[in-house]
Amino acid sequence: MDTSLWTELSKKIQERRGMAVELIQEMVRRPSFESELEIQQYLETWLKERKIPVDVWEPDIRELKQHRGVVDVEYDYQGRPNLVARLKGRGGGRSLTLNGHMDTVPVEPGEQWTYGDPWSGALVDGKIYGRGAVDMKGGIAVALLVLDSLLECGIQLKGDLQLQCVVDEETGGNGTLAAITRGYRSDATIFLEPTSSKSLVVSSRGAQFFRIIVPGKGGGIEYQFTYPNAIEKACKLYQAVRAYALLRASQADHPLYAHDPTKIPTDVCTIHAGNWPSTLPGQCVMEGSLECLPGEDIEQVKAEFRAYLLEAARQDPWMKEHPPQIEWFGLHFEAGETDLGSPLITGLQDACEQVTGEKPAVLGGGGSDLRLPVLYAGSPSVLFGPSGGAIHSLDEYVEVDSVLEMARIIGRFVLDWCGVANY
C-alpha cells in the first residue's frame, strides 16, 4: 500500500471529530425503537448530498417467511425501510459490506437518565449519551466517516464498498436477511457492533425462544391441599431448566467461548399464572430462551431439551398423567462462525495493529446477524465496532475517541481489502 495514501486518509478521518459528534447526536435524537423511518430518511439525505447511490425499500415479510433464516414475526415492515449505499469499485478487488442496524431496544418507563432524556445525545467528557448511542449508531457513524473521507481524498477502490443500514436486528435479523435476499452480498462483512478495538468477534450462538405450559386444576383456594397447583408444578420444571443449563455449561467445549462464564445460556425469563388472588391457577406458562454454540444444530438441541423436560415432568405423579406442553416461538436462528484462517480476520488484526499497536483478541459472541451472511451469502463475517457502555441500559453511551479510532482501523482495512484503483 502507498503509505502516503493511508496517511492522508487517516488524517482526514481524524479531522472529522466534529462530524462524528454531529452524526451520532442527530441519529440518537431520532428514536428508532418503533420505526426506523425518520433516521433512515436522515441518512438517505446525508448520503445523497455526497452523491452516493442508495437503495431504500421495505422488506416483505411474506417473502422472507419463505426463507429458512427468517425470524417469524407477526408484523410487517411498513414504514420500516432498509437502506443500502454503495461505492462501486473499478473492478479487480474484493468487495466489502459494512453493516449496522438502525433499531434500538425501547426505554423503560420512568427511567431517569443522568444527562437529559434518552434522546438528548448529550456530549459529556468525550461520551455521547442516549438510547442507541453505542448499539449501534456509533457504529454507523464509523462507516459514514470512512465513506466521507474516501470521497474527499478522491480514492477510488477496486472492489465495491457497501453500507447496509438495516431494520429489526434486535428482534432477530430480518433486515439483514432482506438485504441478502435482495442480492446484496460481498466477499466479507463487518458488523459495526460495539466491541472496542481490543475484541474481534467471529462467531454467534444459535437461539430459540421456548414456552412451557404446565397444567394444574383451577379452583378456590380452599382446595389447595386437594388440587394440584400449576405454579408449584412449574417450579419443578423451572429447576429442571436451571439444571439443564448447568449440564450444558459443563459440556461446553469451544475455544472461542472459554472466556465466557455462561458459555451456553438457557433460562426461564417470564412466568404467568392465575387470574385471581384466591383462585388456584388452571395453568402456569413459562417462557425463556435456549441457545447453542457454533458447530451445534439448534434443532437437535431443541429435541434434547424437550426430552429432558418431559423426563423431568414424568417424575411428578400429576405431570406424568398431565404432561406439560412445550412450544417454540419467536426468536429462532442458527449458530454461525467464520473460519479462523479467513483473511478477513487476519486482515482486520493487521489493520488494528497498524493503528493501535495491538492486535484484537479473537472471541465468540452471542446471537447476532453474523450468522446470516456466513450461512446464506457465503460471506465471512465479524463483529467489530466502537466501545461504550450501558448497552440496552440506563445512561447508554459511546466513546467519541473510539469511534474515530475504529474509523481509522476500518479505513486502513478497506484500502487493503478492496484495493485502490487510481494510485
CATH code for the domain of 350: 3.40.630.10
| Burial zone of 293 (CB within 10 Å; 0-12 exposed, 13-18 middle, 19+ buried) | buried
- pLDDT of res. 275: 94
For residue 198, give the 3-state DSSP assignment: coil
Number of domains in the chain: 2
- Indicate if 77 and 95 belong to the same structural domain: yes
Whether residues 175 and 316 share a domain: the answer is no
Residues 233 and 211 in one domain: yes
Position 3 scores a pLDDT of 83
Q: Read out DSSP for 320-356?
A: HHSPPEEEEEEEEE--EE--TT-HHHHHHHHHHHHHH
Q: Who contacts 423 (Cβ-Cβ below 8 Å, separation ≥6)?
A: 2, 5, 155
423 domain-assigned:
no
- Contact (CB, 8 A) for 231 and 273: yes
Residue 348 amino acid letter: L
What is the sign, positive or negative, of the torsion defined by CA atoms of 269, 383, 259, 340?
positive
Catalytic residues: 103, 169
What is the per-residue pLDDT for 108? Answer: 84
Contact between residue 149 and residue 411 where contact means Cβ atoms under 8 Å apart: yes
Question: What pLDDT was estimated at residue 406?
Answer: 98
**Would 153 be classed as within a structural domain?**
yes
| Residue 275 CB partners (closer than 8 Å, separation 6+) | 281
pLDDT digits over 12-63, tens only?
999 999 999 999 999 999 999 999 999 999 999 999 999 999 999 999 999 9
* Residue range 157-183: mean pLDDT, rounded: 97
**At 4, is the pLDDT very low, low, confident or very high (cuts 50, 70, 90)?**
confident
Both 220 and 354 in a single domain?
no
Closest by CA to 383, choosing from 395, 373, 396, 394, is: 373
Is the same domain home to 406 and 260? no
Confidence at residue 111, expressed as pLDDT on a 0 to 100 scale: 82
User: Which residue range is the domain that position 143 belongs to?
Assistant: 3-204+335-418
Same-domain check for residues 328 and 340: no
Residue 100 lies in a domain: yes
CATH classification at residue 215? 3.30.70.360
pLDDT in tens, 333-357: 999 999 999 999 999 999 999 999 9
Average pLDDT, the chain: 96
pLDDT digits (tens, 9 = 90+) for 288-325: 999 999 999 999 999 999 999 999 999 999 999 999 99
Residue after which a domain boundary falls, among 333, 354, 387: 333
Confidence of residue 1 (pLDDT cuts 50, 70, 90): low
pLDDT in tens, 258-297: 988 889 999 999 999 999 999 999 999 999 999 999 999 9
Q: Which residues pair with 22 in a beta bridge?
A: none
pLDDT in tens, 366-415: 999 999 999 999 999 999 999 999 999 999 999 999 999 999 999 999 99
